Amino acid sequence: MSDDDFMQASDEEYDFEYEDEEEDDSGDIDIENKYYNAKQLKATDPEDAVEEFLGIPQLEQEKGEWGFKGLKQAIKLEFKLRRYQKALEHYEELLTYVKSAVTRNYSEKSIDNMLNFIEKASDDPEAAKCMERFYSLTLQCFQSTNNERLWLKTNIKLAKLLLDRKDYAALNRKLRELHKACRKEDGTDDPSKGTYSLEIYALEIQMYVETKNNKQLKRLYQRALKVRSAVPHPKIQGIIRECGGKMHMSEENWEDAQSDFFESFRNYDEAGDLRRIQVLKYLLLTTMLMKSDINPFDSQETKPYKNDPRIAAMTDLVDAYQRDDIHRYEQVLHDNQDLHADPFIAENIDEVTRNMRTKAVLRLIAPYRRMRLSWIARELHISDAEVQDIVGFLIVGGRVRGKIDQQHGTLELDDPAGGDLDRALAVRHLTGAVEELFRNVFRDAEGFRASGAELLQAAAMAGERGDPSALDMLPSGKGGMREGGRSRKGGKGAFFH
């Protein structure tokens, strides 16, 4: 064969191969164009976009990546359009692509993202009914392909669904199955599956919190904290710590509860999870239960949320509590009834309110020996029954010495303010002395200078501190004033210096 013949033959062969490649590219380009055109329709006309996406698999001679992508987009749109049954049918078709049309890693990531997407619609009852079927189809598919990672992830999602439904019997069975899958043959935890183990522990811990099984909760909580082989998502740590905080609260271990809620908030914040706001409310609640004067917003993590309107009510409660302002506290509680929407806050805020009212009752009754319970109730804006309950608690606890006369609805104290008789008497004498001062000034004198007013203010402040020397600073009688036990007389028109 001559060189010319050889070149001619080579050109013909080259041209033939080029034409085939052009045809293939042309087919791929048509499919690709259809896919991206459909994506442009998603925002403006989702129903037409679904039809376009579903038309892509029909253009492929055999199942390929573009058909997989088209079905994936169609299923998501159908879910948004609440066509759950259609989405389920097309998802079943999508799963036929994972064995040969796409790579193992790509299919695993895509299916996991798909399940995460439909999980967000779990609030819709119709969607929730289909979700279990989605999980079931996924498990059947990937169990046959021996994809253990996706099998574990899907089962954990199914366990979450059962927890949301409060189907504790089915959840218990599923958790045992998952624990078994994360253990070695000798029954010990498999370190290579530590991350999955922590997720399973988090689900089981939540179940024990909801069922109030503190014995099992404490055992599992300690076990979860000892897992060191995992690199869990911060959200998982946030869940475990939040549940630990609730466990400590049920034991009235306020200090450990505060520590766990802080760690939970920090992890949720790192994960960008909105649950951080609710846990921050729990943290503020424990601050009051601990009777702490430390500002919970002093830390670097909580400081950015100090003025967040979502926690304004709890912040106001803490402020009123630390200032012992019972009226402000009651007003905030009355104006924010939604605080009781969270069962955990509703369960524990009563203890804080009782502490506030107890301190208010002690301050109110301090100067008196006998008073009506109805008067205490009016002053604190609470019911007579609540007053009687608080006073009875104080008497039984030995913090108040006295008795309740139920027939006449009165409280009679043996020793005002629980033993602070001297202070109560000093306040009473001071009141009488102030009255006498004003009678003397306006009857016998033309007035008094500012220094006299300052002296009166100083005497009042000393009396408030319970200082008996306050009485020596006040007038002893007409036209005179005590000073170091001596009397300085002054005639008509005299001034206090």
Q: Which tens digits make up the pLDDT trace of 294-349?
A: 888 888 889 899 889 999 999 999 999 888 899 999 899 889 988 888 889 998 99
Residues 412 and 432 in one domain: no
Distance of CA 429 to CAs 49, 184, 466, Å?
Answer: 87, 81, 11
Residues 388 and 336 in one domain: no
Is residue 281 situated within a structural domain? yes
Residues 303 and 339 in one domain: yes
Tell me which of 295, 316, 349 is where a domain ends: 349
Full residue range of the structural domain in which residue 388 is found: 366-418
Is residue 80 situated within a structural domain? no
Among 26-35, 37-46, 57-66, 309-318, name the most confident range: 309-318
Give the closest residue to 111 by CA, choosing from 145, 161, 80.
145
Q: Is the pLDDT of residue 25 over 60?
A: no
pLDDT digits (tens, 9 = 90+) for 2-20: 444 444 444 444 343 434 4
* Mean pLDDT calculated for residue range 449-454: 45
Give the closest residue to 289 by CA, choosing from 351, 361, 331, 362.
351
- Min mean pLDDT across 276-280, 440-444, 490-494 is at 490-494
Residues 276 and 342 in one domain: yes
Long-range contacts of 29-38 (CB under 8 A, 24+ apart): 30/59, 31/56, 31/59, 31/60, 31/66, 32/66, 34/59, 35/66, 35/69, 35/70, 35/73, 38/70, 38/73
Give the closest residue to 202 by CA, choosing from 223, 228, 181.
223
* Mean pLDDT calculated for residue range 60-72: 87
Question: Which two three-digit tokens encode residue 6?
Answer: 């050889």
- Cβ-contact 265, 237 below 8 angstroms: no
Taking the whole predicted model, whether its pTM rises above 0.85 is answered as no
Percent of the chain whose pLDDT exceeds 90? 24
* Mean pLDDT calculated for residue range 218-246: 86
Tell me which of 322, 349, 376 is where a domain ends: 349
Residues 345 and 380 in one domain: no
**Band (186; pLDDT cuts 50, 70, 90):** confident
Residue 205 sits at the vertex; the CA angle it makes with 190 and 228, to the nearest 5 degrees, is: 35
Is residue 315 situated within a structural domain? yes
Q: Is the pLDDT of residue 471 over 70?
A: no
**Band (172; pLDDT cuts 50, 70, 90):** very high
**Band (253; pLDDT cuts 50, 70, 90):** very high
Is residue 288 situated within a structural domain? yes
What's the total number of domains in the chain?
Answer: 3
Is residue 181 situated within a structural domain? no
Predicted pLDDT of residue 275: 93
Residues 315 and 259 in one domain: yes
Is residue 447 situated within a structural domain? yes
Give the domain CATH number at 397.
Answer: 1.10.10.10
Residues 385 and 308 in one domain: no
Q: Is the pLDDT of residue 127 over 90?
A: no
Residues 338 and 263 in one domain: yes
Task: Measure the CA–CA gap between 378 and 426, rounded to whole angstroms.
Answer: 26
Is residue 262 situated within a structural domain? yes
User: How high does pLDDT run on average in the chain?
Assistant: 78
- Min mean pLDDT across 253-257, 307-311, 422-426, 492-496 is at 492-496
Is residue 63 situated within a structural domain? no
Tell me which of 418, 446, 479 is where a domain ends: 418
Predicted pLDDT of residue 440: 65
Residues 393 and 430 in one domain: no
Residues 432 and 344 in one domain: no
- Min mean pLDDT across 201-215, 286-300, 328-342, 483-497 is at 483-497
